[in-house]
């Protein structure tokens, strides 16, 4: 009880500090220490946020970005886990294929964007391809690692129980690799958000990336900040949601520590 109260007190104090930073920002804007063309006060950003949502503009852009991100990330997750499982559970594939994938890992994935544009044009399909391509790496490599690191003893248990190959994958390998896979999916979430924004900027697709770019070009700094705040919020909410999912799915890991 007491401990809980202390935690909340600290939390409140921390919120107060954050609030004072916003107040400072307001003060700087009010005193026009930085030109209002670049830096709107939090009041103006907030007004713009409310207006954008009430007339539906900003809501649509947010939905667009979430859609790009979600489709690309889901496609990457499914493909990444499937391919990673195949490669990770086969010694031959691990010897011949995995090193090539490791070699490609440090490649800045955004460099694939021009190639995607050349193939698919400035389209929705291009954006989805780029997002999925970028997001697949962390998931696939984590899955390969997770499958390769399954305790061999567990495979022996599965053999002595004469479990089918499918049962071994779903009851032994996949759960055993799940911490790695979920960590990869969390990384990919960030990658997917960044690539969504970049693709929206480049291809002029409906989304927050396009919104912030247009706002910047028109020097509507309040709208610009509203968009950036929303992007930050998107990153925060998706990452919290992922944490909650991990917490639920990996409850057994808490017991191990």
Partner 1 sequence: MTTDRAKEKAKALLLPLAVLLAFEAWARATHLQSDSLAPPSEIIMALAGAFADFSILTATRDTLFSAFAGLAIGTVIGLALGIAFGISDTLNRLMEVTVEAVRPIPSIALLPIALIALGFGYRMEIVIVAFACVWPILILSRAAVRSIEPRLMEVSRALRLPAAQRVWKIIIPAALPRIFVAFRLSAGIALIVAVTVEIAINPLGLGAGIMLAQQALRPDLMLAYLVWIGAIGYALNILLVVAQHRLFGRAALSGDSA
Partner 2 sequence: MANAAKRFEVIPGQPRPQIAFTDVTLQLGGKTIIENLSLGVRPGEFLCVVGASGCGKTTALRLAAGLYQPTSGRVDFDGQLMLHPRREIAIVFQDYGKALLPWRTAAGNVSLALEAGGMPAAERPARIEELLRTVGLPGHAGKYPAEMSGGMQQRLQIARCLAQEPKTLLMDEPFGALDAMTRQGLQDEVLALVAASGATVIFVTHDLDEAIYLGDRVIGLLPHPGRIGIELAVNLPRPRDQLSTREHPEFLRLRRQLFDFIKAAEQ
185 touches partner 2 (CB under 8 A): no
Give the range of 159-167, 191-199, 207-215, 230-238 binding partner 2 by CB under 8 A: 159-167
Minimum CB separation of residue 216 from partner 1 in Å reads 3
Joined tokens for residue 192? 């997917």
CB atoms within 10 A of CB 184: 28
C-alpha to C-alpha distance for 22 and 28, rounded to whole angstroms: 10
Q: Contact between 178 and partner 2 (CB under 8 A)?
A: yes
Polymer length of the chain:
257
70 binds, among partner 1, partner 2, none (CB under 5 to 8 A by kind): none
Q: Is 156 in the site for partner 2 (CB under 8 A)?
A: yes
Residue 5 interacting with partner 1 (CB under 8 A): no
Check residue 18 for interaction with partner 2 (CB under 8 A): no
In 3D, which of 197, 100, 112, 108 has the Cα closest to residue 140? 100
Site membership for partner 1, residue 14 (CB under 8 A)? yes
Judged by CB under 8 A, the chain residues 174 through 213 that form the site for partner 1 are: 190, 193-194, 197-198, 201-202, 208-209, 212-213
Using CB under 8 A, count the residues that bind partner 2: 20
27-56 footprint of partner 1 as x/- string (CB under 8 A)? ----------xx------------------
Q: How far are the Cα atoms of 48, 97, 115, 223 from residue 123, in angstroms, in the given order?
A: 29, 31, 13, 25
In the complex, least distance from residue 11 CB atom to partner 1, rounded to whole angstroms: 8
Query: Which option in partner 2, partner 1, none does residue 160 bind, with CB closer than 5 to 8 A by kind?
Result: partner 2
Q: Out of 50, 107, 157, 161, which residue is the one contacting partner 1 (CB under 8 A)?
A: 107
Alpha helices (runs of H) in the chain, residue ranges in sequence order: 2-30, 42-54, 57-88, 91-96, 98-104, 112-120, 124-148, 152-160, 165-168, 174-203, 208-217, 221-249, 251-256
Is 101:83 a contact under the CB 8 Å cutoff?
Answer: no
Question: Does 90 participate in binding partner 2 (rule CB under 8 A)?
Answer: no
Angle at Cα 196 formed by Cα 194 and Cα 198, nearest 5°?
Answer: 70
DSSP state of 171: I
CB 89 within 8 A of CB 152: no
Quote the radius of gyration of the chain (alpha carbons, Å). 23
Whole-number minimum distance, CB 99 to partner 1, in Å?
A: 3
- Chain residues binding partner 1 by CB under 8 A are 10-11, 13-15, 17-18, 21, 37-38, 95-100, 103-104, 106-115, 117-119, 190, 193-194, 197-198, 201-202, 208-209, 212-213, 215-216, 219, 221, 224-225, 227-228, 231-236, 239
């Amino acid at each position: 009880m007491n401990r809980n109260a202390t935690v909340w007190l600290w939390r409140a104090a921390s919120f107060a500090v954050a609030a004072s930073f916003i107040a400072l920002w307001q003060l700087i804007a009010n005193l026009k220490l930085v030109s209002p063309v670049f830096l709107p006060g939090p009041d103006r950003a907030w007004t713009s946020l409310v207006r954008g949502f009430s007339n539906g503009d900003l809501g649509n852009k947010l939905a667009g970005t979430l859609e790009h991100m979600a489709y690309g990330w889901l496609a990457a997750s499914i493909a990444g886990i499937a391919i990673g499982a195949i490669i990770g559970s086969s010694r031959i594939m691990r010897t011949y294929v995995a090193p090539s994938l490791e070699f490609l890992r440090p490649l800045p994935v955004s460099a694939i964007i021009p190639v995607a544009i050349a193939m698919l044009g400035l389209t929705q399909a291009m954006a989805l391809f780029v997002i999925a391509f970028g997001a697949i790496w962390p998931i696939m490599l984590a899955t390969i690692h997770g499958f390769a690191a399954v305790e061999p003893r567990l495979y022996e248990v599965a053999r002595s129980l004469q479990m089918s190959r499918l049962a071994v994958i779903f009851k032994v390998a996949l759960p055993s690799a799940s911490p790695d896979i979920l960590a990869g999916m969390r990384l990919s979430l960030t990658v997917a958000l960044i690539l969504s924004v970049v693709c929206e900027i480049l291809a002029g697709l409906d989304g927050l990336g396009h919104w912030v770019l247009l706002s910047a070009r028109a020097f509507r700094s309040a709208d610009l900040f509203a968009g950036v705040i929303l992007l930050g919020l998107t990153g925060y909410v998706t990452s919290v949601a992922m944490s909650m999912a991990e917490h639920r799915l990996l409850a057994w890991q808490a017991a191990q520590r």
